[in-house]
């Protein structure tokens, strides 16, 4: 059978409504685990402070020879297996990352040959911790329009290599990992009902990497001043996070004609346990309905939602027909909410 691609598919579709679904989900974390006790030996911090302020107990750290695209490839292969599709059937690869292999080319391009997708379109999407929700939304539009059938969305982060291991205000928070989804019209689960995306660049300097781009090209001085690492004003972000995520959820619920009570599961970006508790309260969702695994992974940015999602599927919490809210917040600022019917 000849597979139609791109605009050919678009023309052949002829007005039919196509519903995007998550037809496969895969995750990967590097083997090495780093505990709070390990951090106590490296910076002026304590297990007690980290647990009380963030909820984090341990995180995974990539091996020296691993790069972001490697983590993404592991997760992508599992997602393709879960969706029962071959590389041949993938039409587009999107990689959401804030810790790319290189600035040029994209991490998606580094991943592509490792996945056997040579020749297929591939690009990166930069939306920091909201990258997975942004990616699912973009993929959903390609599927809905009929242009592509199987879109592979990867959230891959190797944050322990872009953070300052001497800056205790951020290093204890972050971890490495990857998650991937196949978005396609296939199957009977994972229907994407809608999404709301937002960004506000006026807050860009609350979480950024000052040097290494055109704004501040790399010099000996920028390296000496440690400007090639993430800089975060965590306290200010904290205050905005809950408000933004709750508002995006409210807009989405209204658009879908749903109420807070209709949400069966909230799968939020795992940035801080206290943010998640405040969010649950604000959304009037009981804490048992919030999927939380920050204790074991820390903040893995674009990978955190798929990591929590896969866990709740594997342990049987999520049942067919459940309404699942994905909600995130991150550097940019970017934030968003996306609803799925499983």
Residues that bind ligand COA (CB under 6 A): 45, 49, 53-54, 129, 168-169, 172, 207, 234-235, 237-238, 241, 271-272, 299, 329-330
**Pick 169 or 260: Cβ nearer ligand COA:** 169
| CB of residue 121 to ligand COA, shortest distance in Å | 28
Rank residues 85 and 246 by Cβ distance to ligand COA and give the closer one.
246
Query: Residue 290, Cβ neighbours under 10 Å: how many?
Result: 19
Q: Which of 200, 213, 209, 244 is nearest to 227 (CA)?
A: 209
Min. distance of Cβ 210 from ligand COA in angstroms?
Answer: 16
CB of 52 to ligand COA, least distance (A): 9
> 47: buried, middle or exposed (CB in 10 Å: 19+, 13-18, 0-12)?
middle
Q: Which residue is nearest to ligand COA (CB)?
A: 234
Nearer of residues 244 and 313 to ligand COA, judged by Cβ: 244
SS3 call for 254: helix
Which structure tokens are listed for 18? Answer: 């196509």
| Angle of CA points 91, 96, 99, to nearest 5° | 135
Separation CA 278–CA 49 (nearest Å): 19
Q: How far apart are CA 172 and CA 235, in angstroms?
A: 15
Across-strand partners of 67?
Answer: none
With H, G, I as helix, E, B as strand and everything else as coil, classify residue 125: strand
112 touches 176 (CB < 8 A): no
> Is 228 marked active-site?
no
Pick between residue 54 and residue 106 the one whose CB is nearest to ligand COA: 54
Find the shortest distance in angstroms from Cβ 71 to ligand COA: 18
Closer by beta carbon to ligand COA, 169 or else 222:
169
Q: Quick check: is 36 catalytic?
A: no
What's the angle, vertex CA 26, arms to CA 183 and CA 103, rounded to 5? Answer: 80
Residues 6 or more apart from 165 whose CB is under 8 A from it?
42, 43, 171
C-beta of 339: minimal distance to ligand COA in Å?
21
Q: How far is the CB of 100 from ligand COA (least distance, A)?
A: 17
Per the structure block, which two tokens stand in for 158?
A: 């190797």
Nearer Cβ to ligand COA (107/299): 299
Report yes or no: 228 and 222 within 8 Å, Cβ to Cβ.
yes
The single residue of 36, 244, 269, 272 carrying the catalytic annotation is 269
Given the residues 36, 272, 293, 299, the one annotated as active site: 299
Please say which residue, 10 or 51, places its beta carbon nearer to ligand COA: 51
Question: Between the CA of residue 270 and those of 27, 102, 267, 302, what are the distances in Å?
Answer: 15, 25, 9, 10
Nearest distance from C-beta of residue 211 to ligand COA, angstroms: 20
| Active-site annotation holds for 129 | yes
Residue with tokens 């204890």: 172
Q: Give the torsion through C-alpha atoms of 178, 170, 232, 196, to 10 deg.
A: 30
Sign of the Cα pseudo-torsion (234, 331, 313, 260, in order): positive
Q: How many CB atoms lie within 10 A of CB 213?
A: 11
The catalytic residue among 129, 171, 244, 272 is: 129
Residues with catalytic annotation?
129, 269, 299
């Amino acid at each position: 059978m000849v597979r139609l691609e791109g605009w050919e598919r678009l023309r052949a579709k002829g007005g039919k409504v196509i519903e995007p679904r998550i037809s496969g989900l895969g995750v990967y974390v590097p083997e090495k685990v780093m505990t709070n006790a390990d951090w106590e030996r490296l910076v002026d911090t304590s297990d007690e402070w980290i647990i009380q302020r963030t909820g984090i107990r341990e995180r995974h750290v990539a091996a020296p020879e691993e790069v972001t695209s490697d983590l993404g490839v592991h997760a992508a292969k599992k997602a393709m297996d879960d969706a029962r599709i071959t590389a041949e059937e993938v039409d587009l690869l999107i990689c959401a990352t804030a810790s790319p292999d290189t600035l040029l080319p994209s991490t998606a391009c580094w991943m592509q040959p490792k996945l056997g997708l040579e020749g297929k379109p591939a690009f990166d999407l930069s939306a920091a911790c909201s990258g997975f929700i942004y990616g699912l939304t973009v993929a959903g539009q390609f599927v809905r329009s009929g242009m592509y059938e199987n879109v592979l969305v990867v959230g891959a982060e190797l944050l322990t290599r872009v953070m300052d291991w001497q800056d205790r205000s951020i290093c204890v928070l972050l971890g490495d990992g990857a998650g991937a989804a196949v978005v396609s019209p296939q199957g009977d689960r994972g229907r994407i009902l809608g999404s709301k995306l937002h960004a506000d660049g006026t807050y860009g300097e609350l979480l950024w990497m000052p040097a290494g781009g055109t704004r501040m090209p790399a010099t000996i001085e920028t390296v000496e001043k440690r400007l090639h690492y993430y800089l975060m004003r965590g306290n200010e972000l904290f205050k905005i996070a809950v408000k933004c995520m709750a508002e995006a959820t409210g807009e989405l619920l209204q658009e879908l004609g749903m109420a807070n009570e209709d949400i069966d599961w909230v799968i939020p970006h795992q940035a801080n346990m206290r943010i998640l508790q405040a969010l649950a309260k604000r959304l009037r969702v009981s804490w048992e309905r919030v999927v939380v695994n920050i204790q074991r992974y820390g903040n893995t940015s674009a990978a955190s939602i798929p990591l929590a999602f896969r866990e709740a599927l594997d342990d049987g919490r999520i049942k067919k027909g459940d309404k699942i809210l994905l909600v995130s917040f991150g550097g940019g600022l970017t934030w968003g909410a996306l609803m799925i019917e499983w």
